[in-house]
Amino acid sequence: MEFDHAGIATDDLDDLADLYDGLLDATLAHEEEFDGLRVAFLDLGNGHLELLEPLEPLPGAEGAIPRYLDEHGPGIHHLALRTDDIEAALDTAREAGVDLVDEEPRPGAWGHHVAFLHPATTGGVLVEFVER
């Protein structure tokens, strides 16, 4: 597995993208609206930053990112690891006793297949497996 991206919850995607472009030379690689979110991937050369902004104004918007922003404010939401075989990665996680948020892969942003591991069994970190 390799690092794929860090997912960052934000309430102002444009300002954060501009900051990271100027600070890290992290240019926009992809942008879309997905699952009630505006999503932008910034290219770091060896991975991406995924910026996640709810399309609905807070409070009261539904979904994991609005809840995260409401409870924690902007910040790192998850770390994503790239795999060539997401089913095998999930099997390995199950065998290791890790609780899964997603028992089966599901569609993710940018057309990828994704599955999340529960942070209660991964050291407090929401881990995402990504198969491109």
Determine the average pLDDT of the residues in 105-127. 97
pLDDT, position 38: 97
Domains and CATH numbers, the chain: 2-131 (3.10.180.10)
How does the average pLDDT of the chain come out, rounded? 95
Inter-CA distances, 4 with 17, 37, 69, 111, Å: 18, 19, 22, 14
CA 59, 41, 19, 56: dihedral to nearest 10 degrees? Answer: -20
Per-position b or e across 49-62, b if 16+ CB within 10 A of its CB: bbbbbbeeeeeebe
pLDDT, position 60: 61
pLDDT, position 59: 62
Local confidence band at 56 (pLDDT 50, 70, 90 cut-offs) = confident
Determine the average pLDDT of the residues in 37-66. 89
Burial class (CB in 10 A: 0-12, 13-18, 19+), 129: buried
